[in-house]
Amino acid sequence: MSYTAKLAEMGVTLPDAPAPAANYVPYVVHGDMVYVSGQLPMGPDGLVCGKLGADMSIEDGEKAARLCAINLLAQVKAACGGDLERLVRVVKIGGFVNSTDDFGDQPKVINGASNFFAEALGDAGKHARAAVSSPALPFGVAVEIEGIFVIK
């Protein structure tokens, strides 16, 4: 099954690739690699803001991470000239979780992105990753995730 068909089956429509918020590019293509800048949890209702361990549940953090993953795929699609089927593999994601000093479940939060990639892309979605705490993130968002991908 194509990635596009699988996403449709999941009820996911990729948004237009978000524009950068400052002086950087949203992705860099080098050979068969795509390096995607950190994506924020922007959904139909706007940015998902909050701090894990204070005013957000792990489940809400997972949903925010899933939105980041959807936005990462939107950037990959843009890098591939609109053809998501050129995606070969998710290599690595780096997840940053806006969390309190005593919150230690960053990996559970970033599972929202990892689980999305596995469901949507199968084996091509399995990846290496980091899940770290951050005392603050841009605009007060709950999660930011960057990614490295292989394309053909």
Query: Domain ranges in the chain?
Result: 27-151
138's CB contacts (< 8 A; 6+ apart) are 21, 40, 144
Q: How is residue 140 annotated by DSSP?
A: G
pLDDT in tens, 120-147: 999 999 999 999 999 999 999 999 999 9
- Give tens-digit pLDDT for 28-87: 999 999 999 999 999 999 999 999 999 999 999 999 999 999 999 999 999 999 999 999
How is domain 27-151 classified at the CATH fold level?
A: 60s Ribosomal Protein L30; Chain: A; (3.30.1330)
Q: Which residues contact 135 (CB under 8 A, 6 or more apart)?
A: 98, 101
Confidence tier at 25 by pLDDT (50, 70, 90): very high
